[in-house]
A = this chain, B = another copy of it.
Amino acid sequence: MVHITSNQLFRRQRTKVGAQPGAIAAREDAIPTRIRLIRFDAAGFEERDAEPCEDFRSLVEEGHTLWIDVRGLADTDSIKDIGTAFGLSSLTIADLVNVGQRPKCEDLENALLIIARMVTMDDTHGLCWEQVSMAVGEGFLLTFQETTEDCFEPIRERIRKGNSLIRGNKSDLLGVLLLDAIVDGYFPVIENFGDKLETIETEVLNSPRSALLSDIYRIKRELGLFRRAAWPLRDALSRSMTDQTEILSPSTQPYLHDVRDHIIQVVDVLESYRELASSLIDVYLSSVSNRTNEVMRVLTIIATIFIPLGFLAGVYGMNFDTSKPGNLPELGWRYGYMFFWVAAVTIVFGLLGMFWKLGWLGGSDRGRDRK
């Protein structure tokens, strides 16, 4: 799967400014187009790679469902041909190819267009997002993916195994199940965020390091990106459930309903996590303030005790002419030195007493809290 770094997601695949609407601009790094065709009815199924030049339209037949899965968007001409064959307008085809669209559901005249974002997580690249577009029509389903890998394999497997739910229904149900698979793919990512936040939380509360802030920031940023994939989908699904469209049969509605419930839950948890991350920043900042305070206190205690003592020692280090009476007579006292130490110890205990009263002792603030 192409690795799309987080920030690239902020970029729509743009045509040149002023280009005609419907102009197509494939990504420079788009993957070569491969077309996979699955055609089934309750009784049997056929699966094969297809050539771009085939007349797919003629394969649509009453009682059969045709799923044309286009992976890799480099061959824009073929995509245009396929789209046109199934009655998609040039504007719609442009949306399929110019990836980075906002997730949406659109009721075209003869098909339902769904644009969503599929997410995968891998240890090397982190999160990878890709645009998946679906056009669901009477007897056919077109899907367009940026890469060759996807999360639809379990569904293909079920078609092959003759799963009655898919095989016994029409293309609209297949479309909804694919959408369900995409949304289902959000959950492991969300759990991963949850785990990371939990780890960070423990560290922030126990031993805050400055690197944690960057970590929290990065999570907040990725949550923001996630949210931009999930929110519009949630809205689109909710809207498309109230706008009755002919393409979705009544028996498909509960499944769409189910997908919508899941995406609502995704959005809910995303919001919770964002809030949690913000709270963690607060806690982190406060712990830094606390540490500064603690450091200051140690400095203040030490300095405040020794600076006066240093002065005292300095006094008795002066070279006044002690032969003159009144000039540093202490130096000549029998117990002068002992007098000095008594004074010093008195000062020390006096100051310690003051700090005690101010509540500054007890080592660190943390220590004090444990009591």
Residues of A within 8 A of B (CB): 7, 10-12, 14-22, 89, 91, 101-102, 104, 151-155, 158, 163, 165, 177, 180-181, 184-185, 187-188, 190-191, 194, 198, 205, 207, 209-211, 213-214, 217, 220-221, 224-225, 228, 232, 254-255, 257-259, 261, 264-265, 268-269, 272-273, 275-276, 279-300, 302-304, 306-311, 313-322, 324, 326-328, 330-338, 340, 358-360, 364-366, 368-369
Question: Which of A11, A275, A319 has most B Cβ within 10 Å?
Answer: A319
The reply to whether A261 and B104 contact each other, CB–CB distance below 8 Å, is yes
Q: Which B residues are CB-close (under 8 A) to A104?
A: 261
- A19: min CB distance to chain B, Å: 7
Evaluate whether A332 and B324 lie within 8 angstroms (CB atoms) in the complex, with A224-B276, A307-B310 already known: yes
Q: Which B residues are CB-close (under 8 A) to A328?
A: 319, 337
Cα separation A184 to B302 with both chains bound (whole Å): 57
Cα separation A151 to B292 with both chains bound (whole Å): 49
Q: Which B residues are CB-close (under 8 A) to A285?
A: 282, 285-286, 289
Q: Which B residues are CB-close (under 8 A) to A320?
A: 316, 330-331, 336-337, 340
Q: Which B residues are CB-close (under 8 A) to A326?
A: 334-335, 337-338
7 residue pairs bridging A and B, Cβ less than 8 Å apart: A10-B273, A17-B151, A209-B368, A210-B366, A214-B283, A224-B276, A302-B304
The reply to whether A21 and B177 contact each other, CB–CB distance below 8 Å, is yes
The reply to whether B272 and A10 contact each other, CB–CB distance below 8 Å, is yes
Evaluate whether A255 and B21 lie within 8 angstroms (CB atoms) in the complex, with A224-B272, A293-B291, A319-B331 already known: yes
Q: Which residue of B224, B228, B272 contacts A228 across the interface (Cβ within 8 Å)?
A: B272
Copies assembled: 5
Q: Which residue of B163, B207, B284, B295 contacts A300 across the interface (Cβ within 8 Å)?
A: B295
- A83: min CB distance to chain B, Å: 14
Cα separation A364 to B357 with both chains bound (whole Å): 11
Contacts A7-B194, A296-B296 given; 12 further ones with Cβ under 8 A?
A10-B269, A16-B154, A20-B158, A89-B254, A221-B276, A289-B289, A302-B303, A306-B308, A306-B310, A319-B322, A321-B333, A324-B334
- A230: min CB distance to chain B, Å: 12
The reply to whether B288 and A293 contact each other, CB–CB distance below 8 Å, is yes
Cα separation A244 to B368 with both chains bound (whole Å): 60
Minimum CB distance partner of A7 in chain B: B198
Cα separation A281 to B278 with both chains bound (whole Å): 12
Evaluate whether A20 and B163 lie within 8 angstroms (CB atoms) in the complex, with A102-B268, A209-B365, A320-B340 already known: yes
The reply to whether A20 and B336 contact each other, CB–CB distance below 8 Å, is no
Cα separation A21 to B272 with both chains bound (whole Å): 25
Minimum CB distance partner of A185 in chain B: B17
The reply to whether B287 and A210 contact each other, CB–CB distance below 8 Å, is yes
The reply to whether A154 and B18 contact each other, CB–CB distance below 8 Å, is yes
- A154: min CB distance to chain B, Å: 3
Q: Which B residues are CB-close (under 8 A) to A282?
A: 217, 281, 285
